Copies of this chain bind each other. A is one copy, B any other.
Amino acid sequence: MKLTVYLSGEIHTNWRQEIEEGVRKHGLDVVFTSAVTEHDASDAAGDHLGVETDSFWRDHKSSKINAIRIKTLIRSCDMAVIRFGDKYKQWNAAFDAGYCAALGKPYVTLHDDDIIHPLKEVDGAAMAWARTTDQVTEILRYTLS
């Protein structure tokens, strides 16, 4: 068995690296996928198509270019990990969770105790809630055992 796992959410901490490292240690057959996680590159994804004076349209173009990758990867993943940190709105992460839920893609969430309440709908459709990246790694290890 082999898993393709889409990692969605927070891009300012190294939770992706921690999970990938944990998986490597266990020698698990996991392929990780993600949106482009470099903030500036992601915001500028549509700039080469022409300059926009209106920031709405600049964002619009970039978010759609990013969506090509995100949509393709979510549709082809086996499961997802949705990470919520303690900063920013992170509506894209919740959007990805809803997208997974509607497609029947199993996902687990990764977040601290203090945001349990606002995440209750996102957690309600999840297969598990993890507090640490080690717990996520353990879920992957068990699933592949």
Contacts and interface: CB of A to CB of B under 8 A. Distances in A.
A62 to B, nearest CB: 7
B128 A64 contact: yes
A135 to B, nearest CB: 6
A60 interface: yes
A106 interface: yes
A59 B123 contact: yes
A106 B61 contact: no
Given A66-B124, A68-B128, 15 more contacts: A1-B73, A41-B145, A48-B138, A61-B128, A68-B108, A71-B104, A71-B106, A89-B118, A91-B118, A95-B97, A95-B101, A95-B122, A95-B125, A97-B98, A99-B102
Interface of A: 1, 3, 33, 36, 41, 45-46, 48-50, 53-57, 59-73, 78-79, 84, 88-104, 106, 108, 115-125, 127-131, 135, 138-139, 142-143, 145
29 contacts: A45-B142, A49-B135, A53-B53, A55-B117, A64-B124, A65-B139, A65-B143, A66-B121, A67-B106, A67-B121, A67-B125, A68-B79, A69-B142, A71-B104, A89-B89, A89-B118, A90-B91, A91-B121, A92-B118, A92-B121, A94-B98, A95-B95, A95-B121, A98-B100, A98-B101, A98-B102, A99-B99, A99-B102, A104-B104
